[in-house]
Amino acid sequence: MSTTLPARQRPKQPLPKRPRQALRWGATAAGIAAVVVLHALAIQGTEFQPGLLVDGWKGMAAFVADAFPPDLDWEKTLKPGLEATLVTLWIGLLGTTFSVPFALLLAVLAAQTTTPHQAVYQVARAILSFFRAVPDIVFALIFVTAVGLGPFAGVLALICHNTGVMGKLWAEAMEEIDGGPQEALRTAGANRIQQLANATLPMVVPQFVGLLLYRFDVNVRSSLVLGLVGAGGIGLLINQSIKSFQFDAMLTHIIIVLVLIIAVDQLSAFIRRKLAA
Amino acid sequence: MDTPLLSVRGLAKSFGGRQVLKGVDFEVRSGELVAVLGANGSGKSTTLRCVMGIAQPDAGTIAIDGQELDGLPWRQLQQARQRTAMIFQKIHLVPRRTALDNVCAGALARIPTSQSLSPLFFPRSVQQEALECLERVGLADRAFDRVGRLSGGQQQGVAVARALCQRADVVLADEPVSALDPHAAEQVMALLHDLAHRENLAVAAVLHQPDLALRHADRCIGLLNGTMAFDLPSSRLGQAELDTLYAPDRVVAA
């Protein structure tokens, strides 16, 4: 009986050919070709020429040499830099927290599991898409015409843009969590708001806080760029120092920003770790 | 009084052309634990979901304490449904909240919306009642523990307390012990049996373990392809009946 033979002594069965192998190879090759063509087009479209970089390295070297050593004059550079960095941080903070009520409302309306009606869902999604699609820098330029140059315009711009992004992220977080507790409360006779307050929201708190911290991190960096268009903060100082050829002051400001970004990143990582535990 | 608390007649339901329930009849009286047995796809869960109003039956009547639900005005329908509570296989509590807060949530239908936005606002009387419900399932000492820290059996106990806090007298349990280890399953079934007998609740539990049904249930109902296969006191249920449920091919062949 062949079944009594040890596995090694049994006659080897020939390995069957994988089915449709040629087709798969063809599809892979076509995919690679398509990616190569797209990159060729993109290189043309962006005038990507490494040769220019090699030829012009002297300009860069002069620029960097001008920036060293950083200007550490307390009265002239360091103090205003730190103060402006604090403003940047405040813009990012208010832009994040003040958008929470709007983002929460729109997220509830724009999540399949919590929306009261399909029409409301579509409208809420459209509003979120609009706020997300318009860049914060465009919002800043619009608000500058209303409230003038300064950090306030930056805060308003961040509130608008962040509402769109965080609302969408929160809506998706609510759609992804286990809907069981919500169903349990529905069968117990709880109304829609009660289900939301006692099942859905307490279930997503960790995800919500994580996303909020992530957005705070992004918004602090965005408020830097907003400074470039006149919304105050360290971005404005960096812009000014470049325009007046004070590259050593610019470097100081960039170093301060680097420290700020690392601090914010560490803080949000710390809070998220505590929350997960 | 001999009116059954829950009475189901001729329940029929199909999903996408496939008939899942083809006329299911049964009753659950107050003070008894009824086990609903059947193979996968026999229509056990669909039956419970129809009674709870999560699924809409195509035909048949459901009556609670003699009152037919079909055709009731909305307000009265809500009140009647309020008397039925559901226990889920996956428990469906909020792990981050305390046992007490989860039990209070069973009473939400009686709490004004403005007082139910956070457990901090729940009325004291409801919190008191929730604590008593935890006491009745033997978990009063865990009231302020987060549910996520409790064992699976304790969590299902909290879910039962939530049903009590809803003041339900009909409790429907959809595979309440399928996710629990044998010891915890035994405890939860003993609890359900106890509540039915001590507090005169009508309890129906879908089970996948015939031995648990035989030991804890007063009566067993067997569903086979959406029809009633048997409805017997547990003491009269034998291997022959179980074989009709779980090995119908073998019975036909014999």
pLDDT in tens, A216-241: 989 998 988 888 777 788 888 888 88
| Cα→Cα distances B171→A5, B28, B93, B159, Å | 60, 10, 17, 11
Tell whether A185 is within 8 A of chain B (Cβ): yes
For residue A71, give how far its alpha carbon lies from the nearest alpha carbon of chain B (Å): 51
Q: Is the per-residue pLDDT at A161 higher than 60?
A: yes
Q: Binning pLDDT at 50, 70 and 90, where does residue B189 land?
A: very high
pLDDT at A1 over 50: no
- Chain A CB contacts of B85 under 8 Å are 187-188
Residues 6+ away with beta carbon under 8 Å from B117: A193, A197
Whether residue B168 is predicted with pLDDT greater than 70 in this model: the reply is yes
Average pLDDT of B77-91?
A: 90
Residues in A closer than 8 angstroms to B118, CB to CB, are 197
Residue A149 lies in a domain: yes
The residue among A128, A136, A202 whose CA lies nearest residue A172 is: A128
Q: From the CA atom positions of chain B, what is the Rg in Å?
A: 18
Choose the mutation target among B92, B100, B103 for the interface with A, i.e. most A CBs under 10 Å.
Answer: B92
Give yes or no for residue B1 having a pLDDT over 70: no
A199 and B96 within 8 Å at the Cβ level: the answer is: no
Residue ranges of domains in chain B, CATH in brackets: 1-44+55-65+171-254 (3.40.50.300), 88-168 (no CATH)
Strand partners, B204: B34, B172
ipTM of the complex: 0.89
- For A174-188, the pLDDT digits (tens) are 999 998 999 999 999
Angle, vertex CA A185, rays to CA B79 and CA A187, nearest 5: 45
Q: Does A181 touch chain B (CB under 8 A)?
A: yes
Which residues of chain B are within 8 Å of residue A180 when distances are taken between CB atoms? 88, 90-92
Is A122 part of any domain? yes
Mean pLDDT over A96-100 rounds to: 96
Angstrom distance (rounded) from CA B62 to CA B51 = 7
Residue pair A113/A200 in contact by the 8 Å Cβ criterion: yes
Answer whether residue B246 shows pLDDT above 70. Answer: yes
- Any idea which of A122-126, B151-155, B244-248 has the lowest mean pLDDT? B244-248
What is the tens place of the pLDDT at every residue in A113-126? Answer: 999 999 999 999 99
Chain B contact for A277, CB < 8 A? no
Please say if the pLDDT value at position B253 is more than 70: no
pLDDT band at A3 (very low <50, low <70, confident <90, very high): low
Reported as a pLDDT band with limits 50, 70 and 90, residue A7 is low
- Most A-contacting residue of B93, B100, B108, B158 (CB-CB within 10 A), to test interface: B108
Residue A7, in any domain of the structure = no
Sheet of B202-206: strand order equals B84-87, B170-174, B202-206, B32-37, B219-224, B227-233
The verdict on A190 touching B (C-beta cutoff 8 Å) is yes
How close does chain B come to A274, measured CA to CA in Å?
14
User: Residues of B with CB below 8 A from A185's CB?
Assistant: 105, 108
In a domain, A9, yes or no: no
Please answer yes or no on whether A197 and B118 come within 8 Å at the CB atom. Answer: yes
With residues binned 3-state (H G I as helix, E B as strand, rest as coil), the percentages for chain A, rounded to 5, are 80, 0, 20
Give A-chain residues touching B88 at CB under 8 angstroms: 180, 184
- Nearest-by-CA chain A residue for B102: A198
Q: Is 80 exceeded by the pLDDT of residue A18?
A: no
Give the pLDDT mean for B197-224. 92
Q: In this structure, what DSSP letter does residue B174 have?
A: E
Average pLDDT value for chain A: 89
At residue B254, the pLDDT reads: 44
Q: Is the pLDDT of residue B220 over 60?
A: yes
Q: Classify residue A35: in a domain, yes or no.
A: no
Q: Is A275 on the interface with B (CB under 8 A)?
A: no
How many whole angstroms from its chain centre is CA A27? Answer: 34
pLDDT tier, B250 (very low <50, low <70, confident <90, very high otherwise): low
* Mean pLDDT of the region B64-92: 89
State how beta strands B59-64 and B6-15 pair: antiparallel
Strand B202-206 versus strand B170-174 pairing type:
parallel
Q: How many independent structural domains does chain A possess?
A: 1
For residues A147 and A160, give the distance between their C-alpha atoms in angstroms, rounded to a whole number: 15
Confidence (pLDDT) at A235: 86
CATH of the domain at A200: 1.10.3720.10
Assess contact for A224 and A260: CB atoms under 8 A. Answer: no
- Residue B19 CA from chain centroid, whole number: 23
In this structure, what token pair is assigned to residue A232? Answer: 């105050």
For B93, the token pair is: 């509590």
Q: Give residue B4's pLDDT.
A: 87
**Can you give the residue range of the structural domain that contains A103?**
71-276
Mean pLDDT of chain B: 90
Q: Is the pLDDT of residue A43 over 60?
A: yes
DSSP string, B192-215: HHHHHHHH--EEEEE-S-HHHHHH
* pLDDT reported for residue A226: 87
